[in-house]
A and B are shown apart, each in its own frame.
Chain A
Amino acid sequence: MTDWINVILQGILVGGLYAMFAAGLSLIFGVMRLVNIAHGDLIVLAAYVALVTTETLGVGPLVSLIIVVPLMAAIGYLLQRAVLNRTLGEDLLPPLLVTFGLSVIIQNGLLTLFTADDRKLDAGHIEVATYRLFDGVYIGALPLLQFVVAIAVIAALQFIFYRTALGRAFRATADNPAVARLMGLDNRHVFALAMALSLAVVAIAGVFLAIRANFDPSIGPARLIFGFEAVIIGGLGSLWGTFAGGLVLGVAQAVGAHINPGWQILAGHVAFLVILAVRPEGLFPRIRT
């Protein structure tokens, strides 16, 4: 019994990480209808940026966030202004192809710079610290921190989206770009800010990913898929729904892995397909008009 409690608890905690993968994806889709195929590769890029930062400055991975987050946000802003803004429009192929190209470029660029070797960030004693909930049920300090950070990230995005002038600009451009421009908003700038925010979240997710497990240049696409599954399971247009979607995915994978180690990822995909078959609008959809 405690066995299963542990499994589900682990799944929920990992789900927080998946929710962070998903939040950035969901944000830019909500604002500019762009699905970023390179999202997973950008997460991995953030992990490598953190790796370089910790190695050159000799700081811990969590401290490196001070540098990685603004740097990734700046990359996001420039990427949107220089390239991605030109792909937006009725046709869905240009953004898809360009981000696909970007994905191939990031993967092979990282491969050239860092080789295909496994890397990992070392966060010190926090990685092994655990708390005992009750007999036989333990909770790791790192997964707990990661989960709390995920909640904080979602809450912060929710706050920015619905309580600030920036969020109002995001929602206005999403609802009607032409009218938003008439009201004095520069859409290109608003979109670039959305991408910057998305990559700031990507940076946090990337650092936690890199502390939690080994990474190499090829693991990006799978992270994109996890994020995407969390978005669809949770329901489009709802940040807390996306968070719940991440948890469902995390639990499904943990349960699958517990039954048979080969089924971990497959169980997550199956959960996604079942939701798609029986409830295609997701668990907690928020219909936006």
Chain B
Amino acid sequence: MSIRVGFASRSSRIGMAASAVALVVLAAAPFWGGRDDLQLLSQIYTYVALASLWNLLAGYAGLVSVGQQAYVGLGAYLLFGFAILGGVPPLWSIPLAGVIAALTAIPVAALVFRLRGHYFAIGTWIIAEVFRLIASQVSVLGGGSGTSLPAHIVLAIASTRQLRDFLVYWIALALVVVILALIVLLLRSRYGLALKAIRDSELAAACNGIDVQRTKVLVYIFTAFGTAMVGALIFFQRLRVSPDSAFSVNDWTAFVIFITVIGGIGRIEGPIIGTVVFFALRQTLADLGTIYLLMLGAVAIVVMLAAPKGIWGLIVERFGWQIFPLERTVVRDTGSAGAAKRA
């Protein structure tokens, strides 16, 4: 008889199987969906990715940033800058933007990590404002009014418009899958264990020998890497960038926070559920304009006060489900597939 730590449970096996089926169906979307469907799905993917990254940052590492638009905008501007000034193909610019944003995050972290808690939050926002103001001073990229991706660069991606749509769609899907996979792998590693310990009690984590500050900085840098790639992709889809849209606090932070909290913060499934709810609300209420945003704010407040663990938190409490194999359980390998004990 031997003992090991396992991650899978019955619900996660079902969840992963269902995810695999969903992935195949979604990957085939260009063959069953129209242009509008592809655009909507791509938008959903980018919000799932942004919310999952913010969830990692705030839900696990306890770093409540309201300045992630800094990296969305940075990624967007890097993609446009590389394409227009350097002639780099946009598809290569996406990972490149991620790497440069991660490098940028190092000195930024050195500054904002001097602030704690709430002050950290607003400090990150100021960094995003600094990025926005600098972007609006870059006259080769259109200054305050922004710029478009030149036609010859767009045409170089693929010959027909349909092929371009497909390509952008698949990249969006691939990016969200890669980001989710990286987060799952991170959470299953020893860093993930450290992160969960930090989430539950920073003091206890530090007492058990976890370098809390170092772990947080690493998560911050990783999140910058992912967020910038998503930002580059979003504005590659739009073919146009401006400082106000690329560094928008409402679009890239407020909505992302609402999504995460409504879906369930501190659980990987939360942002996915939250994004689905967010887009369902948007598709039905978008005609209401500003009232819709007002309601979204109110729903987020009510969820935070009444059910702070979000929709997925309620489901977990009731059924104990997990879609992704993350929960560590002690498995006894005996002759008969043995009783697993939750750890």
Contacts and interface: CB of A to CB of B under 8 A. Distances in A.
Interface of A: 29, 33-35, 37, 83, 86-87, 91-98, 100-105, 108-109, 111-112, 221-222, 224-225, 228-229, 232, 262, 265-266, 269-270, 272-273, 276-277, 280
Contact of B301 (A83, A111, A262, A280): A83
A105 B125 CA distance: 19
B126 A269 contact: yes
B292 to A, nearest CB: 8
Contacts of A100: 66, 254, 257, 297, 300
A276 B114 contact: yes
A95 B293 CA distance: 19
Contacts of A102: 297, 301
Contacts of B304: 87, 93-94, 97-98, 101
A276 B58 contact: no
Contacts of B293: 104, 108
Given A87-B305, A101-B258, A108-B297, A269 B130 contact: yes
Interface string B112-145: 0011011101110110011001101100000000
Interface in B295-311: 296-298, 300-301, 304-305, 308
Nearest to A231: B119
B261 interface: yes
Contacts of A272: 126
A66 B117 CA distance: 37
Interface SS of chain B: helix
Given A35-B121, A97-B300, A100-B297, 5 more contacts: A35-B119, A100-B257, A101-B258, A111-B290, A280-B115
Contacts of A37: 66, 121-122
B298 A105 contact: yes
A232 B119 contact: yes
Contact of B133 (A94, A96, A109, A265): A265
B290 A108 contact: yes
16 contacts: A33-B118, A34-B118, A37-B121, A86-B305, A87-B304, A87-B305, A97-B258, A97-B304, A98-B304, A100-B300, A101-B258, A102-B301, A104-B294, A109-B294, A270-B130, A276-B114
A163 to B, nearest CB: 28
B96 interface: no
B265 interface: yes
A163 B137 CA distance: 49
A112 B290 contact: yes
B285 to A, nearest CB: 13
A232 B130 CA distance: 17
A276 B304 CA distance: 32
B323 to A, nearest CB: 23
B294 A108 contact: yes
Interface in B45-102: 58, 64, 66
Contact of B254 (A104, A232, A270): A104
A34 B121 CA distance: 12
A100 B130 CA distance: 20
A222 B254 CA distance: 15
Contacts of B111: 273, 276-277
B162 interface: no
B302 to A, nearest CB: 9
A89 to B, nearest CB: 10
Nearest to B250: A104
B38 interface: no
* Residue picked from B115, B249, B297, most chain A C-beta under 10 Å: B297
Interface of B: 58, 64, 66, 111, 114-115, 117-119, 121-123, 125-126, 129-130, 133-134, 136-137, 249-250, 254, 257-258, 261, 265, 290-291, 293-294, 296-298, 300-301, 304-305, 308
Nearest to A38: B297
Contact of B137 (A105, A228, A262, A276): A262
A266 B66 contact: no
- For the complex of A and B, list the 8 residue pairs with the smallest distance between their C-beta atoms, beginning with the closest: A35-B118, A104-B297, A101-B297, A108-B290, A101-B301, A105-B297, A280-B114, A108-B294
Contacts of A34: 118
Contact of B122 (A224, A262, A266): A224
Nearest to B108: A273
Contacts of B134: 266
B236 to A, nearest CB: 27
Contact of A228 (B122, B254, B297): B122
B301 A35 contact: no
Contacts of A232: 115, 119, 123
Contacts of B258: 97, 101
A112 B291 contact: yes
A94 B261 CA distance: 10
Contacts of B301: 83, 97-98, 101-102, 105
Nearest to B107: A277
Contact of B117 (A92, A97, A222): A92
A93 B297 contact: no
A262 B136 contact: yes
* Residue picked from B117, B118, B130, B265, most chain A C-beta under 10 Å: B118
B264 to A, nearest CB: 13
Contacts of B125: 221, 225
Contacts of B58: 93
Contact of B298 (A96, A101, A111, A221): A101
A171 B111 CA distance: 30
Nearest to B290: A108
B296 A104 contact: yes
A96 B121 contact: yes
Contacts of A112: 290-291, 294
A111 B309 CA distance: 31
* Residue picked from A91, A95, A97, most chain B C-beta under 10 Å: A97
